[in-house]
Structure 1
Amino acid sequence: MKYMLTYDLMESMRNTNQWLGATARAYASYPIMSWGANPTIDWLKAWGEVTERTFSRMVVKPDWGIPSVSMEDGKDHDVKVEMVLERDFGDLIHFKVVGRQPMARRVLLVAPMSGHYATLLRKTVMSLLPDCDVFITDWHNARDIPVSAGKFDVEDYTLYLVDFMKKLGSDIHVVAVCQPVPLALAATAYLAEEDPTAQPRSLTLIGGPVDPEANHTEVTDFGRSVTMGQLEETMIQRVGFKYAGVGRMVYPGLLQLASFISMNGETHANAFRDQIIRTAKGEAADHDKHNTFYDEYLAVMDMTAEFYLSTVQRIFKDRDIARNAFVVDGRPVDISKITTVAVKIVEGEKDDISAPGQCLAALGLLTGLPESKKAAHLEPGAGHYGIFAGGKWRRNIRPLVLDFIDANSDVPKPARRKSGKVVALK
């Protein structure tokens, strides 16, 4: 599998399916096709539209598309995406609300590098912007990074987080979602020894695999059942000539997408069938619920081979974080050294990616942290996506996170906006 030919073959298959969809749509759109009533043509056009859009989205990085924010002055303020720190494998960006005074709450969202772009957290960003100054880690697609930029594994990821936290200062509150949860914990412990004054005020860990063995899922079962040699031979490919990262060894986003879809294959198949039916009936829209979700879900990025393999080896197989045996750049990282950073755990009752207990294991590692600075929340009925986006996040989890941030800040509690009104916090 570790050949450019394999990578280019996957891209050719994707491109061919996109072309087939475009061809079917164009053919069915010819005026001559409307001379007689023929439902087959309507179905062909609908299939073409859905198929073309589906396969075209797989190679496009979604825009942030953050709408304006309504503030207490009664005006809508535009949101600009600003570069704070630019690096080869990922940037630190800031969502600046134009014309707004500095906010007391400053939040760093640590986005996952697990096949999707950081825009997967767009709704999380939108929900926090009215009440917080929001920063996020914006990871790059490995296929676009030249080989000359070097490697990027879990240790490099951790050091990136260390640099981002240093850049933002000690009044930052870190919220890590999914895959980076154990590495955000490690980065904070790294700072606890290297530069204690640069540690964040609080650390909110949402649905991440601190200890994958705490509660098994299909993801953890897969990690245990295959050898590293099998993974390297079957999952790793070399970027083809079409991209700037030509020759770089990667875990392709298309393979990761196939894995995602296979976990709930019937659900996805039904969703696309229903969308074709709606399109044929003229009931679909460009930004309807299906397109809004799948435009993001299908947009995937490649990970560097070393990041993917080291994640499986050190987080899932060896359980370096769970055993408090993680090493970064030759330096052991002792999580018990975290003594001042408040830590909150958020898990979903029905999370099938990082099941309840996997993230909660972090509290057991924080032996140097007072119990008063530890907190945990299990959201009833919530799946993996629901604990950082959607109704359960907005109604139940987000208020708890903001309260936790306020409880561990040295500044007075600011007003919180709700439904266009300002609510004073006591």
Structure 2
Amino acid sequence: MKYMMTYDLMESARNTNQWLGATARAFAAYPMMSWGANPAMDWLKAWGEVTERTFSRMVMKPDWNIPPVTCDKGKDHPVVVETVLERPFGDLIHFTIPGREPSKRRVLLVAPMSGHYATLLRKTVISLLPDADVYTTDWHNARDIPVSAGKFDVEDYTLYLTDFMRELGADLHVIAVCQPVPLALAATAYLAEQDPSAQPKTLTLIGGPVDPEANATEVTDFGRSVTMGQLEETMIQRVGFKYAGVGRMVYPGLLQLASFISMNAESHATAFRDEIIRVAKGEASEHDRHNDFYDEYLAVMDMTAEFYLSTVERIFKGREIAQNAFVVDGHQVDMGKITTVAVKIVEGENDDISAPGQCLAALDLLTGLPDDKKASHLEPGAGHYGIFAGSSWRNNIRPLVLDFIDANAGKKTKKSGKVVAIK
């Protein structure tokens, strides 16, 4: 499948479905169709509206759209997104709040590169902003990166994280979510050996595959059941002429989305059927629950082929992180060299992506870290999304993480449970 033709064929199918939806909506909205009551036209228009929106979102990067932050004096402050460090495959961005004094908590939120944009963590950012100065990694869509920019694999990802940590300085607290958990751990260990003064104060690891074999899921079972040759042959395609990354080998976002949806196909089909019914009845809205979720869920990005394949081969199959045998830029990283960075593990009891135990395995690797700098939390009843963006995160996990940050920051701050700016 490593051809531009297959990549363009998927894009053509997406574009055709978007056009069909737009055509159905326009046809049903034609004034002549309103001469009398015609339920069929209402259903056609509803189907067209939902279909057009669904397929158009697949190639759009969502906006951060962060609402103003209310500080302790009751004044609303706008949030401005600024680029701190710009790199070919991803930027370090800062959510600045003009008019607010700098917060004592400086947080780097490491977003996943697993098919969705960093805006997947929008709700996480919103929840942290009243209590912290927030930075995040904003990974770029591989289809938009020229081949001349070179490769980007798990080692490059790790080095990006070390550069971002150096840029922000040692008075920093890192929170890694899902896919980047093992690489954030490796980046911290790399700094512990190469540049100890650039290490963060704390490292919070949320639902990531440090040791995928600690508790098997469908994801790990799939990784074991296929060979690298099969993955490269069936998953990798070459970007077509439409985008700046023409010729780059990628794992296409549309192909990833098909995999995501197939895991829960029945529930997704039900969700779209119910939304069409709501639109036909006039009960839907621009920002209803369905649109808020699927506008983000359907927005997918291509990953470089080397990043996807090296993740499967080295993190899942080879378990290099779990075995403390991960090599970055010719240097074998030793997790045992982390001796001063406090580490907290957060897992969800019902996480079917990174099951309980996969992330907790990180603590066993930290042989040089005192026990009083290790912590863990298993959130009862929480799934994968809930531990970083749902009610479990907002009500239970976020306060625990902020308390952990404060306890290891070396200075006193206000109680984390209060939604006020820390000055």
Tell me whether the two structures share a fold, i.e. TM-score over 0.5.
yes
1:206-253, CA deviations, whole angstroms, 9 ceiling, x for partnerless residues? 000000000010000000000000000000000000000000000000
Q: Contact 1:130/1:417 (CA < 8 Å) preserved in 2?
A: no
Q: Contact 1:111/1:180 (CA < 8 Å) preserved in 2?
A: yes
Q: Contact 2:131/2:422 (CA < 8 Å) preserved in 1?
A: no
Q: How far 1:264 moved relative to its partner?
A: 0.7
Q: How far 1:418 moved relative to its partner?
A: 3.3
Identity %: 82
Tell me the equivalent position of 2:315. 315
Runs of 4 or more off by more than 2 Å in structure 1? 414-419, 421-424
Distance 1:74 1:126 in 2: 17
Q: How far 1:415 moved relative to its partner?
A: 4.8
2:155 is matched by which residue type in structure 1?
E
| TM-score of the pair, normalised by structure 1 | 0.98
Matched, 1:176 2:159: no
Tell me the equivalent position of 1:137. 137
| TM-score of the pair, normalised by structure 2 | 0.99
Tell me the equivalent position of 2:166. 166
Q: Contact 1:344/1:375 (CA < 8 Å) preserved in 2?
A: yes
1:241-300, CA deviations, whole angstroms, 9 ceiling, x for partnerless residues? 000000000000011111111111111000000000000000000000000000000000
3-state SS of paired residue (1:107): strand
CA shift in 2, pair 1:88/1:393, >3 Å: same
CA shift in 2, pair 1:422/1:197, >3 Å: closer
Matched, 1:25 2:25: yes
Q: Contact 1:107/1:174 (CA < 8 Å) preserved in 2?
A: yes
1:310-338, CA deviations, whole angstroms, 9 ceiling, x for partnerless residues? 00000000000000000001000000000
Tell me the equivalent position of 2:412. 412
- Structure 2 counterparts to residues 268-347 of structure 1, below 5 A: 268-347=268-347
Matched, 1:203 2:203: yes
Q: Contact 1:71/1:130 (CA < 8 Å) preserved in 2?
A: yes
Distance 1:110 1:378 in 2: 20
Distance 2:324 2:75 in 1: 49
1:180-210, CA deviations, whole angstroms, 9 ceiling, x for partnerless residues? 0000000000000001110000000000000
Tell me the equivalent position of 1:362. 362
Tell me the equivalent position of 2:246. 246
Q: How far 1:38 moved relative to its partner?
A: 1.2
User: Structure 2 regions of 5+ residues with no counterpart?
Assistant: none
2:390 is matched by which residue type in structure 1?
G
Tell me the equivalent position of 2:154. 154
Tell me the equivalent position of 1:189. 189
Tell me the equivalent position of 1:226. 226
Q: Contact 2:25/2:44 (CA < 8 Å) preserved in 1?
A: yes
Distance 1:112 1:48 in 2: 32
Distance 1:302 1:120 in 2: 15
Q: How far 1:37 moved relative to its partner?
A: 1.2
2:307 is matched by which residue type in structure 1?
F
Tell me the equivalent position of 1:8. 8
Q: Contact 1:237/1:251 (CA < 8 Å) preserved in 2?
A: yes
- Structure 2 counterparts to residues 62-81 of structure 1, below 5 A: 62-81=62-81
Q: How far 1:416 moved relative to its partner?
A: 3.9
1:32-65, CA deviations, whole angstroms, 9 ceiling, x for partnerless residues? 1011211111000000000000000000000000
Tell me the equivalent position of 1:50. 50
Q: How far 1:414 moved relative to its partner?
A: 3.0
CA shift in 2, pair 1:397/1:417, >3 Å: closer
User: Structure 1 regions of 5+ residues with no counterpart?
Assistant: none
3-state SS of paired residue (1:43): helix
1:64-97, CA deviations, whole angstroms, 9 ceiling, x for partnerless residues? 0001000112210000001100000000000001
Distance 1:327 1:155 in 2: 8
Q: Contact 1:170/1:197 (CA < 8 Å) preserved in 2?
A: yes
Q: State the Cα RMSD in Å.
A: 1.1
Q: How far 1:411 moved relative to its partner?
A: 2.1
Q: Contact 1:347/1:379 (CA < 8 Å) preserved in 2?
A: yes
1:325 is matched by which residue type in structure 2?
A
Corresponding residue pairs, total: 423
Tell me the equivalent position of 2:60. 60
Distance 1:46 1:343 in 2: 49
Q: Contact 1:115/1:303 (CA < 8 Å) preserved in 2?
A: yes
Distance 1:174 1:255 in 2: 31
Q: How far 1:412 moved relative to its partner?
A: 1.6
Distance 2:166 2:421 in 1: 32
Tell me the equivalent position of 1:260. 260
Tell me the equivalent position of 1:352. 352
Distance 1:255 1:414 in 2: 46
1:125-172, CA deviations, whole angstroms, 9 ceiling, x for partnerless residues? 000000000000000000000000000000000000000000000010
3-state SS of paired residue (1:44): helix
Distance 1:302 1:198 in 2: 31
2:169 is matched by which residue type in structure 1?
G
2:23 is matched by which residue type in structure 1?
T
2:15 is matched by which residue type in structure 1?
N
Distance 1:283 1:331 in 2: 58
Distance 1:74 1:249 in 2: 50
1:9 is matched by which residue type in structure 2?
L
